[in-house]
Structure 1
Amino acid sequence: MRRHLHLRALPAAAAIVTAAVTVTVAPASGAGAAGPTSVTVAPASRAPVSAQDRAWLREAHQANLAEIDVGELAGKKGATSEVRSAGRMLVTDHTAFDGKVTRLAERLGVSLPKTPTPADTAAADRLRNESGKAFDQDFLSTMVSGHRKVIADTRTQVSQGSSTRVIALAKNALPELRKHLAMLRKTQTSG
């Protein structure tokens, strides 16, 4: 079987297409025309997606899955209206945030886990077996510590991430996460 020479050139052509290109433009003829002009055209590039960016997207997604699950439990099982309200708010806000996380991860080619972390799954299982005041206290304690961790991880992403898009998403998430933490602490002290 005979190999076509133009097929062997494809890898080299691909390298050329992705590299910066310098184009020399000849001037129009006539009075006042300057000499040839060179322009370098760089390919469209996305900010790099570092291991830090990928890890934060995965962790944020898993935290969202956990908060949605536990928030649904609190919305149904909470002994007080404050805990039920907190649960519903977590479901609404983390569902919206997770939509942003998953869309960005898809655009950047980052695969996300399909389930929460084993520790978050164990906490949800524990909460499923509780009721009344014990449920409320454990839910609030779990959510306060979870939000502290997510806020710390998000602050790390803002300061150490590479992708401007992932950093922007993290920056936009911080005020909402802080609002959740304040509401959870307030509910914790009022009960």
Structure 2
Amino acid sequence: MRTARNLAPAGIAAVLALTIAPAAQAQQMPQQTTATTVQAGWALHASAQDRAYLREAHRGNLAEIAAGKVALGKSRDRDVRAIAARLIRDHRRLDARLRSVADRLDVRLPSTPSAAQRDDLRAVAGRHGHRFDRAWLRLQEDAHSHALWLGQRELRRGHSAWVKDLARDSAPVIRHHLHAVRAEL
């Protein structure tokens, strides 16, 4: 009996703790929600720099995919063809993520590479054999160097955490492509 009297206060304390704790957590929730909302608001904001990066990087991905397809059709060099296949695969993956971010931020993306990118690829595609391979590799070196520069500019000047993460995460892939291209030159 004595044990039951000693346990009763402990039981009441436990019940009170269970009922008071959720109420205390509920009072803290608006503060946490407000902080999350503020963070989400910044993530949802796309500055002019963020929008420009998304559009240019998307055009770059489209140009790399098109260039890879041209190289697969024209080149007879096994290493150039391997690089081309990797570019197609990796830039499709990078672009899928980029499109997802652009959709979340309501940024419209162009449907084709820029006129300059199309002209450059057309000029390279007009060559044959070893000359094609060298010109194609030089085009890829320039395009990937530019892509790295774009990403660095976004990291310095961008505002959206999502877009900056995209630029940061794509840099190692682009750097790997650049090293592979330079090794073939």
TM more than 0.5? yes
Contact 1:75 1:86 in 2 (8 A): no
Aligned residues: 152
Match of residue 75 from structure 1: 72
State whether structure 2 residue 148 is matched by structure 1 residue 151: yes
Higher strand share: 1
Higher helix share: 2
Match of residue 41 from structure 2: 46
Task: Tell me how far apart the structure 1 counterparts of residues 131 and 87 of structure 2 sit (CA, whole Å).
Answer: 19
Amino acid in the other structure paired with 1:108: L
- Percent pairwise identity: 32
Task: Tell me how far apart the structure 2 counterparts of residues 145 and 127 of structure 1 sit (CA, whole Å).
Answer: 13
State whether structure 2 residue 92 is matched by structure 1 residue 92: no
State whether structure 2 residue 170 is matched by structure 1 residue 173: yes
Which deviations, in whole Å up to 9, do the C-alpha atoms of 1:46-71 show, x marking residues without a partner? 21210110000000000000000001
| Structure 1 residue 123, shift from structure 2 partner | 1.3
Match of residue 62 from structure 1: 59
Contact 1:77 1:84 in 2 (8 A): no
Amino acid in the other structure paired with 2:169: N
TM-score (norm 2): 0.78
| Structure 1 residue 76, shift from structure 2 partner | 2.0
Task: Tell me how far apart the structure 1 counterparts of residues 138 and 131 of structure 2 sit (CA, whole Å).
Answer: 11
> Which 4+ runs in 1 deviate beyond 4 A?
37-41
| Structure 1 residue 75, shift from structure 2 partner | 1.6
Task: Tell me how far apart the structure 2 counterparts of residues 86 and 72 of structure 1 sit (CA, whole Å).
Answer: 11
| Structure 1 residue 79, shift from structure 2 partner | 3.0
| Structure 1 residue 78, shift from structure 2 partner | 1.3
RMSD: 1.7
Task: Tell me how far apart the structure 1 counterparts of residues 182 and 125 of structure 2 sit (CA, whole Å).
Answer: 22
SS of residue paired to 1:46 = helix
Match of residue 31 from structure 1: none
| Structure 1 residue 100, shift from structure 2 partner | 0.5
Match of residue 126 from structure 1: 123
Match of residue 140 from structure 1: 137
| Structure 1 residue 160, shift from structure 2 partner | 1.3
Amino acid in the other structure paired with 2:157: Q
Higher RCO, 1 or 2 (CA under 8 Å, sep at least 6)?
2
Where does structure 2 lack aligned partners over 5 or more consecutive residues? 1-26
SS of residue paired to 1:109 = coil
Task: Tell me how far apart the structure 2 counterparts of residues 56 and 87 of structure 1 sit (CA, whole Å).
Answer: 24
Task: Tell me how far apart the structure 1 counterparts of residues 178 and 139 of structure 2 sit (CA, whole Å).
Answer: 11
SS of residue paired to 2:41 = coil
